[in-house]
């Protein structure tokens, strides 16, 4: 299957700083990528849909000014958590679609963010 690489796998940052997470499709071009968040003992929840060359579409309740998404190329989307707070500590995971709307999406390995 297609490979999606996410970096870093773990990050610890101080409260008030910003953190950038990268999601790369290694062997295919991804016009659409998705960002999910998972809090402890909860299911993965979609945060936003990232489309190459256009603005991301955010799910209800997700602050677009706090979670900045950039999808500048067909193989890279980034999620920046701005002015991070301890409540932003979570597991963030991305997925990338190989083609059109009915093609399969593949998941990255996730990023464990801890804000201290």
Partner 1 sequence: KQEVTQIPAALSVPEGENLVLNCSFTDSAIYNLQWFRQDPGKGLTSLLLIQSSQREQTSGRLNASLDKSSGRSTLYIAASQPGDSATYLCAVRPSGGYQKVTFGIGTKLQVIP
Cα 53 to chain centroid distance, Å, stands at 16
Residues 89-108 within binding reach of partner 1 (CB under 8 A) = 91, 93, 95, 97, 100-102, 104-108
Least CB distance to partner 1 at residue 102 (A): 6
Residues 31-60 within binding reach of partner 1 (CB under 8 A) = 32, 34, 36, 41-46, 49, 59
Does the footprint of partner 1 cover residue 74 (CB under 8 A)? no
Distances (CA, A) of 64 to 32, 68, 78, 79, 85: 17, 6, 13, 11, 15
Contact between residue 47 and residue 62 where contact means Cβ atoms under 8 Å apart: yes
Q: Report d(CA 36, CA 46) in Å as an integer.
A: 4
Does the footprint of partner 1 cover residue 14 (CB under 8 A)? no
Identify the three-state secondary structure at position 88: helix
Q: Which stretches of the chain bind partner 1, using CB under 8 A?
A: 1, 6, 10, 32, 34, 36, 41-46, 49, 59, 91, 93, 95, 97, 100-102, 104-110, 112
């Amino acid at each position: 299957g297609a490979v999606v690489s996410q970096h870093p796998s773990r990050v610890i940052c101080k409260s008030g700083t910003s953190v950038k997470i990268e999601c790369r499709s290694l062997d295919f071009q991804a016009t659409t990528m998705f960002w999910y968040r998972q809090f402890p003992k909860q299911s993965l929840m979609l945060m936003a849909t990232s489309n190459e060359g256009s603005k991301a579409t955010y799910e209800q309740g997700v602050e677009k000014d706090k979670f900045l998404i950039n999808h500048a190329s067909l193989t890279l989307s980034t999620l920046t958590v701005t002015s991070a707070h301890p409540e932003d500590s979570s597991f963030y995971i991305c997925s990338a679609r190989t083609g059109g709307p009915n093609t399969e999406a593949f998941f990255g390995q996730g990023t464990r963010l801890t804000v201290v």
